[in-house]
Amino acid sequence: MAGQLDGRRIIVTGGAQGIGAAVVAGYVAEGARVAALDRQFGTAGTTPDNIVRRHCDVADRAGVTTVFDEVVGLLGGLDVLVNVAGVERGGPSDDIPDADWDAVFDVNAKGTRNTNAAAFTHLKANGGAIINFGSRSGIVGVPQQAAYSASKAAVHVWTRAVAQEWAPYNITVNAVAPAMWTGMYDDYRGRLNAEELAQHDAMMSAQIPIGGKLGEPTRDLVPLLVFLAGDGAHFISGQSFPVDGGWLHMR
């Protein structure tokens, strides 16, 4: 049976674990050829099961360009970029270390620029889709996560800006704001003491209408990403899509 993305050539950053790995698997299952990029992969990489794996630091602009050129050649072209790669740092907003501020902006904001620009080079002749990863934090702001919130706000505004700029090239640019249970979320929970964790879980239960907790990437997020990478989303651009059980209401 044909998949929804048969023949699509897709790059997924942050593809080694968590949401990124789920997206890679979901795309391959729908018939796409996928290049999974991540800092965790070895420099050489392998190509099993229709997946090209390569080392890539999205904060390194020259490195991104080099890797994109290589994997686009291996895929035989490019139709879709999904930029999942991201990092999170938390703590009191009045004392954010420069290293933490720089880390989240280098990967989340600069990495979005680097990967999107590299993809544009390969998409502008025939069109395609770019899907960025924003966050609820970048829309409403979250206490103790000011640097992360600011970096993800940059992702959402960048997405809206380049969606307009690149529309004449038949390139759609959208963002998702997922509320998924990942290793990054486990790290956040690990910084909370027992009382804070209990309060956090009670808050999540009260505020997320569907299920009262974060979603599962393969079940709850991948189906939207498959749609946004396919033909059915050709007239949708410049949007931010919350995938969070009804937690955030966009206006």
- Catalytic residue numbers? 148
Cβ 164 vs Cβ 193: under 8 Å? no
Sheet holding 9-13, edge to edge: 51-55, 33-38, 9-13, 80-83, 128-133, 171-178, 240-243
Q: Positive or negative CA dihedral for 41, 45, 48, 49? A: positive
CA–chain centroid gap for 78, Å, is: 17
Nearest to 245 by CA among 217, 222, 212: 212
